Structure 1
Amino acid sequence: MTDTAVEKTLAVLEALADHSRITDIARVTGLPKSTVHRLLQAMVDRGFAAVRSDGGYLAGPKVLVMAGKVLRPVDTVERARPALRALREESLCTVHLAMLVGDELVYVDKVEADKPYRMPSRLGMGLSVHCSAIGKAVLASLAPAEFDALVARVTLTGRTPKTITTEDRLRAEVAEARRVGYGFDDEENEIGIRCVGAAIRDHTGAVVGGISASTLAMEHTMDQLAALGPRVLLAAGAVSTALGYVDA
């Protein structure tokens, strides 16, 4: 498909948001009606458009599926934000929300603590599951077969001298996270930063990510961070509830 053909297709798809008739779409795009008809038919064949009972056209199921995938993170952030803010106030830590994308986590929201410094994390940043508090909590929440498959796929890269780089040690830490409900990052992703995290689930019960409370190592010992674990777990439960999860 040439650049011109792509532009015409996108113009028709954009016009379809407000117009259903070929005549109207041709008028707003400046394209011949025959071209509009041909492009719409191709979209129908691919699921990007559908024919209405009156002969007009509307966006097809593929468009709705794609829109849902794009909007889902935004909706999740909005639903999770109250619990994140409450956890920030209770813990006095910077709170993160990360979503599972493939085999890694991606930060989608961050509520900074009222501190004279800022955490180096940023939205859109990827996070490895083996060296992050959220990652260990997510691994601990997976079914055994899912956990084994994910561990087999990931590379246990050493990001700092404290990063877990052996499968046996990772399995031991995940087992502990499974026992208590939350995981830890003791300067394993970045020197000087400690975190405690818990997994979140959506309305289907699937593990979709997690939240964490992050602090400087000089401000919290691991024992002090562990004391925050139950609060993080409760906050994660609140986020899961906001996403429609019902604990059976």
Structure 2
Amino acid sequence: MRQANTNENVHQADIPAPPGLAEAADGRTLRRGLRLLDALQAAGDEGLRVVDLCRATGLERATVHRLLDILQDSGYAQRSGRFRYGPGARLQGGAPARVLPNMAVRLLPVLARVSQTCGDAAFAVVREGPLSHCIARHVGTHPVQVLVIQVGTRQPLGVGAAGLALLAALPDAEVQAVVAANAPQLPRYGGMTPERQHILVRATRERGWSVVGNHATRDVLGVGMAVHDERGEPVAAISVASTLARMPRQRQQMIARACREGLRALYGGAS
């Protein structure tokens, strides 16, 4: 008579790892993450390539990429140029600003409306210490789309149109602190300088919306507008970017109106 196998319906995945092994794996991951954090801090503003981080930490490339994704999402690492990584806002003493729940979901209809109006790509960012963090993007209908940043991109607050709109909406003391914190990195963005940023902030406040070109991306100009919460505090910003040829003054004004109307329809107003 065949004896029933009492384990035949038990899957390997259903059997938990022994506590000691699980703790060892968690500890190993934590130690790897801390080694990578040390390397990022040592890299400073110049940043390091992934291959350099592998050498500095003794970790495999796949492991470094996986940990970098986690550290970037948490604000502990950021891109420093196109191929380098450096310490994020949290390691620089900054902290994420107040962000309303589901901000990306809230702003996607606005981006879609603005993008459909002008035909170009629209973006939404929030602030993380001295950085802007792209949280949403909507691609337009024009044959040539200028996708200057992607969701997850972090860069100094104020080098792009949305970040500039958000920077200009902050109190003067915070503007000074952000510009000072980003000063070492600004020249990499089309020769941006602290003095130039302060001029752009003043112009944005006078105009009510931002315009900046040739800094975050060469031969590209963006128009941006801050998003305020019910208390009037800036919590995000949206922007549209396209080639300089597609951005004469009249079209900049049209895009600004589209941004304002889109935000008013959803939030009851913008800066």
TM norm. shorter chain > 0.5: yes
Question: CA–CA distance in 2 between the matches of 1:103 and 1:214?
Answer: 22
Structure 2 partner of 1:228: 255
Question: CA–CA distance in 2 between the matches of 1:238 and 1:106?
Answer: 24
Q: Identify which range, 225-234 or 102-111, moves more after superposition.
A: 225-234
TM-superposed CA distance for 1:199, in Å, is 1.1
Aligned residue runs from structure 1 range 36-185, under 5 A: 75-120=102-147, 121-155=149-183, 157-159=186-188, 161=190, 163-165=191-193, 167-185=194-212
Structure 2 partner of 1:196: 223
AA in 2 matched with 1:124: G
Q: Is the 8 A contact 1:104 1:127 kept in 2?
A: yes
AA in 2 matched with 1:148: Q
Q: Is the 8 A contact 2:120 2:146 kept in 1?
A: no
Q: What percent identity do the matched residue pairs reach? A: 18
Q: Is the 8 A contact 2:161 2:224 kept in 1?
A: yes
AA in 1 matched with 2:128: V
Question: CA–CA distance in 2 between the matches of 1:146 and 1:240?
Answer: 24
Which one of 1, 22, 25 corresponds to residue 4 of structure 1? 22
Q: Is the 8 A contact 2:120 2:240 kept in 1?
A: yes
- TM, length-normalised to structure 2: 0.57
TM-superposed CA distance for 1:219, in Å, is 2.1
Structure 1 residues without counterparts, runs of 5 or longer: 9-68
Q: Is the 8 A contact 1:181 1:233 kept in 2?
A: no
TM-superposed CA distance for 1:204, in Å, is 4.7
SS in 2 for 1:151: helix
Question: CA–CA distance in 2 between the matches of 1:7 and 1:204?
Answer: 45
Change in Cα spacing, 1:218 to 1:208, as seen in structure 2 (3 Å) is: same
Structure 1 partner of 2:240: 213
1:199-231 Cα offsets, whole Å, 9 max, x none, are 112345432221001112222224532442233
Q: Is the 8 A contact 1:98 1:211 kept in 2?
A: yes
TM-superposed CA distance for 1:182, in Å, is 0.9
Question: CA–CA distance in 2 between the matches of 1:5 and 1:188?
Answer: 47
Change in Cα spacing, 1:211 to 1:231, as seen in structure 2 (3 Å) is: same
TM-superposed CA distance for 1:195, in Å, is 0.6
SS in 1 for 2:197: helix
Change in Cα spacing, 1:2 to 1:186, as seen in structure 2 (3 Å) is: farther
Question: CA–CA distance in 2 between the matches of 1:4 and 1:212?
Answer: 45
Q: Is the 8 A contact 1:196 1:232 kept in 2?
A: no
Larger radius of gyration: 1
Change in Cα spacing, 1:177 to 1:2, as seen in structure 2 (3 Å) is: farther
1:45-95 Cα offsets, whole Å, 9 max, x none, are xxxxxxxxxxxxxxxxxxxxxxxx9xx787112211211111112222211
TM-superposed CA distance for 1:6, in Å, is 6.9
Question: CA–CA distance in 2 between the matches of 1:6 and 1:209?
Answer: 41
Question: CA–CA distance in 1 between the matches of 2:263 and 2:270?
Answer: 13
Question: CA–CA distance in 2 between the matches of 1:136 and 1:5?
Answer: 45
AA in 1 matched with 2:108: R
Q: Identify which range, 216-225 or 131-140, moves more after superposition.
A: 216-225
